Structure 1
Amino acid sequence: MSQNAFADPQSHPRLDAAKAHLRAMVGFDTVSKNSNLALIAYMADYLKELGAELTILPNQTGEKQNLVARFGPSDKAGIVLSGHTDVVPANEDSWKTPAFEVNEINGLLFGRGTCDMKGFAACVLATAPVLASKNLQQPVYLCFSYDEEVGCLGVPAIAEYLASLDTPPKLAIIGEPSNMQLITGQKGKIAMRAHVKGSSGHSSFSPKHLNAIELAGHVIDLIEKRGVKYEKEGPFDPEFTIPHSTMLVTMIKGGVATNVTPDTCSFTFELRSILEENARPDMDALLASADAEVAKRVSSKSVAGGIEWQEIFSYPAMGDARQSEGFQALAHIMPELGGKVSYGSEGGVFETIGGIPSVIVGPGSIEQAHKPNEFVAISQIEQCLSFLDLVAAEVSK
């Protein structure tokens, strides 16, 4: 089905409801460092009134919650509609309108999270009355997580819960911004921090010291070479815009003065892998070669030194679900193919932990996410509502 199949010259009958939900949700400041309890309460109260069966999955501190709401029977495999409730920070000095308000300008809805990804959540909430009114033959699970933006920290609990059901869902639709195109793959990510320890002293005696920044530089060289090897040798998948895995350094810090040999240096780096089965072996190989390089250089000095590794977070790649039973049942209503993406989503977690094949279909463009003056086009909201109408019709057959 083409993307234009979702377009309607008339406003969608639930557009105003979607806008109202979006205004309410953007008004909750759910930057990842904050609690999402007020937003979850808003969604839970609304869905409970419609008759949904609710499951709340809190984090260890109780300051954040996942929400799972089911419409339809529990004894059949169904569909997941999934979104995250957290957003990235907003430096309001860079915004032309208040970041945590929705402002409609020339057919666009501005506000933090309108695109990534409260716009999709608003469409789902606006579609909930339709799900409640139909005689669903398959369940629909509305899943809303916390802390996606800082490493997909909340969704594993949702995936584990769904996998524990007597009849788990057969497909998850992740509403990340895709311009309402079908995304069938997503790279996984491992984010790492390295702490390099050397020895310090006046820089005029530097040959007697172990320079932590220089030591880090040798490790960074290995990371760069690994990235170049991916680019030249693959493995490759042409459906990705960047058709290979990537590895790069992202931040670095070290040194205290221009005349002091630095004894510490820390840096962060990441691996984005197109194949989940390659991610850990590739990272382990890099760490082993870096450990060997550091040990060789430390042994040449009569001082202590070394390197320590810290995994910041990781999430798995999302495989291609098009051959799965769940996707095949809905293939005829899916939008036009948009390829595969290098950015992260929770799809890989549903697949890897929950055993649920996943795809991405959502309103808005990823190019508008994570920046000032974020927006989603009203036309995208309407297309999303129309797509969800088709999903509701299919699970009612």
Structure 2
Amino acid sequence: MSRPSAASLAMIRQLIEMPTVSRDSNLDLIHWIRDHLKALGVESTLVHDATGKKANLFATLGPTDRPGVVLSGHTDVVPIDGQEWHTDPFKLLEKDGKLWGRGTSDMKSFVAIALAYAPQFLAQELKTPVHYAFTYDEEVGCLGAKQLMPVLAQMPVRPAACIVGEPTEMQVIAQHKGKKSWRVDVRGFECHSSLTHQGVNAVEAAAELIAHIKSIARRKRDHGPFDPEFAPPYTSLHTGTVNGGTALNIVPKDCSFLWEIRYLPQDDVDALYNEVVEFARTKLEPEMKAVRPECGCSFQQISEFPGLATDDTSPIIELGKALTGANRVQKVSFGTEAGLFSGLDIPTIVCGPGNIEQAHKPDEFIELSQIKLCEDFLDRLLPRLREGSTGLPRT
């Protein structure tokens, strides 16, 4: 396979070497993209968060009076804290047919390739426009995309379809799981550990609740429902962090933990959540409150994103298959912003370069061959945009 273009490689380097860890501002990168597009004659709309320190960018290349194809990606990356990198994560390194650096796979390469094609899009008299949607804080709950959606909903002409370029090895993804996550704070009553009957052990109550969550997880694993095209093929429940207690000889007053549900599109995530809350209310709290009435469990949702379930007969599916040469679509368990676009009745697929197995790890990389496949994808899209032959709705 031939080498990717110098324009794509240069743009990937530019974006990788502008650190945008989710906890930090992404404005340097967003302003750079805005100014880069402005130099090409394209105006951008920025949608900021409440602090003004982060922003989404939306721009249209081509006619603005008709629906186009969104090329969407997030600009944030996960932290490198505690990871043992053998390269500088924020300096792009090309070696062994790969590009190494934080965000190469997830997912600055897609954003960069899309931007590198801007001059080619603009050089054509496109009958179907291209929209860029670049967001912040996808990695911490799709926060930026949630702020962008109301803006898109109010547009006089909404996009006809969306391609979210998360790493799928350029396979067309029509469905992925949804996710909801919560923080649980367990309030007990502190006392000396020799007098446990006078206290309420928050750590033990949390442990019982976590064990109940695990029992539900086993039930879903063993009894489904199942969809063999997902891995794992069932709804999963998982506890990620637990914090509580101060010393062994003190009955702990406080304990908190974070847990999540990643659910199949056909499963009832709210029913599973209510089952956990019901266990806390009916099995744990009566015993806790019998000792001290102020004790109990509180639940706070901390993030969510909807699943994706694009109909196999949708024109965006047919377009994606035509551009990749695939004869079938696939499903993935990881989440993306695609479900949010789909929620606005914008038919959406996930299709981008790189492998999700490289995401979030030290020594993250993307193969050069994946970059070239993404360029080939856009090369096939370009004449369809020029001729208005995407098969997507025109109004």
Does 2:51 match 1:61? yes
Are the aligned partners of 1:55 and 1:68 in contact in 2 as well (CA < 8 Å)? yes
343, 346, 359: which one aligns with 2:337:
346
Give the number of equivalent residue pairs: 386
Corresponding residue SS for 2:138: coil
Report the Cα distance in structure 1 between the residues aligned to 2:28 and 2:208, rounded to whole angstroms: 48
The alpha carbon displacement at 1:130 in A equals: 1.2
| Cα distance in 2 between the residues matched to 1:50 and 1:321 | 36
Q: Which moved more, 1:50-59 or 1:127-136?
A: 50-59
Q: Which string of whole-angstrom CA distances, capped at 9 and with x for unpartnered residues, describes residues 92-134 of structure 1?
A: 8721111101010111101111111111111101111111111
Deviation at 1:252, TM superposition (A): 0.7
Is the counterpart of residue 149 in structure 1 residue 156 in structure 2? Answer: no
Task: Give the Cα–Cα distance (whole angstroms) in 1 for the partners of residues 266 and 18 of structure 2.
Answer: 35
- What CA distance in whole angstroms lies between the structure 2 residues aligned with 1:369 and 1:311? 25
Distance in 2, matches of 1:303 and 1:158, equals: 44
Tell me if the contact between 2:221 and 2:234 (Cα under 8 Å) persists in the aligned partners: yes
- Alpha-carbon distance in structure 2 between the residues aligned to 1:355 and 1:104: 40
- Pairwise mapping of residues 204-353 of structure 1 onto structure 2 (< 5 A)? 204-275=194-265, 278-302=268-292, 304-336=294-326, 337=328, 339-352=330-343
- Counterpart selection for 1:172 from 158, 162, 176: 162
Provide, for residues 61-115 of structure 1, a one-character-per-residue CA deviation record: whole Å limited to 9, x for no partner.
Answer: 2111111110122222221100011101124872111110101011110111111
TM-score by length of 2: 0.93
TM-score, L = length of structure 1: 0.92
Per-residue CA shift, 1:211-246, capped at 9, x if unaligned? 111111221122112112211222222211211111
Distance in 2 of aligned mates of 1:104 and 1:381: 13
Give the fraction of aligned pairs with identical amino acids, expressed as a percent: 38
Between stretches 256-265 and 334-343, larger displacement belongs to 334-343
Q: Is the partner of 2:175 in helix, strand or coil? A: coil
Provide the secondary structure at the position in 2 that maps to 1:154: helix
Taking structure 1 as reference, are residues 256 and 390 closer, same or farther at Cα in structure 2, changes over 3 Å only? Answer: same
- Distance in structure 1 (CA, Å) of the matches to 2:257 and 2:314: 41
1:187 aligns with 2:187: no
Cα 1:219/1:104, change in 2 over 3 Å: same
Find the residue that maps to 1:180 and give its secondary structure.
Answer: coil
SS in 1 for 2:215: helix
Task: Show structure 2 runs of 5+ residues with no match.
Answer: 388-395
- Offset of residue 355 of structure 1: 2.1
Contact 2:235 2:267 in 1 (8 A): no
Query: Does the 8 Å contact 2:170/2:324 carry over to 1?
Result: no
Q: Does 1:11 align with 2:25?
A: no
Partner residue of 1:395?
385
